Amino acid sequence: MSGACRKGAIVSTIPIPFRLLVVPLALAVLALALVACGSDEEPPTTPAATAEPTPTSTPEPTAAAREAPTEAPTEAPTATPAPTEAATPEPTPAPTPAPRSLEGVRGIVDPTNRGWPREVEGLNGVVSIPAKPLRIITASVGHDEMTLAIVPNERLVAVGGATKNETYSNVAHLVQEKAEISRDPEVIIAQAPDVVVTSPFFPIEVVEALTRAGIPVIQTELEQGPEARINAILLMGYIYGEEERASAFADEVQARYDALVSVTSAKDPKPRVLALTQYSDTLWVAGGGSTEGGVITAAGGVNAAEEAGVTGNQTTSLEGVIAMAPDIIIIAQPVAFGAEEFRQSLLEHEALSELPAIANGAVFVVESKHFTTLSYWNIRGAEDLARMLWPDDFPNPPAESFSLAE
């Protein structure tokens, strides 16, 4: 074997200070030289990294290294497949809750009948609805609020003036363009409604006149309380032929109520709250069974008027207010009817100065249409009051609204 084919001869051509970095090139040259010389000897092992100091610059490769051809590999390497981008999985939609059963819903005569005609029992007796009503009138603010949550807006064809008034109505902004009706039966008949669903306060003579004109009229109860609230939603959904939407909306309302009372029901001690208003120099309190009373209970308070034996909305005296000794007074009275002036008079009244609510300045004007409405909107009133009673537990304002039918 000639000197040109000796391993030592090839390595010695590289300066010692630079062997560490150029050793891969040297090994490549050595391999080519061995192939050219027909040698089957193993190439030298790579020196340890600590054998030579690291150079400050990379030397130029030797001429042999620049000119030596690269031998084609005897076996083609397996190509590494390009990585494929993982497809983003589609989000799994939340399962749709099963529709609520209509069994046990007060007012539905035959819960198995989903066709037409169908019968419901209102406070005015059993009424047959011949077909799905497309033109609806209620002549009641609370019923209008619930109707717009269950059917598309265009099916509510006319409303009373109170529903258009933002002082009393939570849906006033949705009905400004609708025809306005009174309780005159001729005005209602002129709108050609398919059905009229209204409150217990609707005059019986108007009910009878509309019935004689062939218009189905159903008077339904509007009561505060979680069970009565859900029953009203499901019954109205059945009347309108919108059982699925009514079921979904009932779930929404129930969930919002449950989220509230899951916190407030555990509170102890609970403050004594009095719902107090003044109209024409007469004081009124909201006792047990009142809408305001239900709001107070849901918010985690004790209804001071109910504790004193008051049922419903009753008049009282200044002495009565003192005897109830509330920790907090809420004024569910429209600002347009002197709510702020009434609040100031309570705070400045010398005879009331020792009441806990007055002494602590805990007298608040609240949004009356959230506290007095006969619909699911009184849940919003309870959420507002809960923020006042338990600010640490409810630091954020409640949702402004509820969903509407599409």
CATH code of the domain covering residue 145: 3.40.50.1980
pLDDT at 91: 59
- Asked if residue 316 and residue 253 are part of one domain, the reply reads no
Rounded CA gap, 325 and 320, in Å?
A: 9
CA distance 305 to 287: 5
| Residue 399 lies inside a defined structural domain of this protein | no
Share in percent of the chain as helix, strand, coil (round to 5):
40, 15, 45
Could you tell me if residue 405 is inside a domain?
Answer: no
8 A C-beta contact, residue 194 and residue 218: no
Pair 373, 291: CB distance under 8 Å: yes
249, 337: one domain: no
What is the domain range of residue 280? Answer: 267-372
- Positive or negative, the CA dihedral 251, 402, 382, 333 is negative
Angle between helices 243-264 and 291-298 (to 10 degrees): 60
- Do 251 and 324 lie in a common domain? no
Residues 335 and 214 placed together within one structural domain of the fold: no
Task: Tokens for 104, please give them.
Answer: 């046990």
| Burial class of residue 144, CB neighbours in 10 A (0-12, 13-18, 19+) | buried
Q: Is 39 exposed, middle or buried (0-12, 13-18, 19+ CB in 10 A)?
A: middle
pTM: 0.76
- List the structure tokens of 106: 């007060």
The identity of residue 108, as a single letter, is I
Per-residue pLDDT of the chain (406 residues; tens, 9 = 90+): 444 333 343 334 444 333 433 334 333 333 333 333 333 333 333 333 333 333 344 444 444 444 444 444 444 444 455 555 555 556 565 566 788 999 999 999 999 999 999 999 999 999 999 999 999 999 999 999 999 999 999 999 999 999 999 999 999 999 999 999 999 999 999 999 999 999 999 999 999 999 999 999 999 988 888 999 999 999 999 999 999 999 999 999 999 999 999 999 999 999 999 999 999 999 999 999 999 999 999 999 999 999 999 999 999 999 999 999 999 999 999 999 999 999 999 999 999 999 999 999 999 999 999 999 999 999 999 999 999 999 999 999 999 999 999 8
Paired strand residues for 181: 160
Q: Which of 28, 89, 85 is nearest to 62 (CA)?
A: 28
Radius of gyration of the chain (CA): 41
Specify whether 349 is located in the same domain as 254.
Answer: no
Tell me how many domains the chain contains.
3
Considering only CA atoms, which of 299, 277, 297, 300 is closest in space to residue 288?
Answer: 297
Does 47 share its domain with 166? no
Which one-letter amino acid corresponds to residue 260? L
Using the 3D structure, point to which of 39, 67, 95 is the last residue of a domain: 67
Contact 182, 160 (CB under 8 A): yes
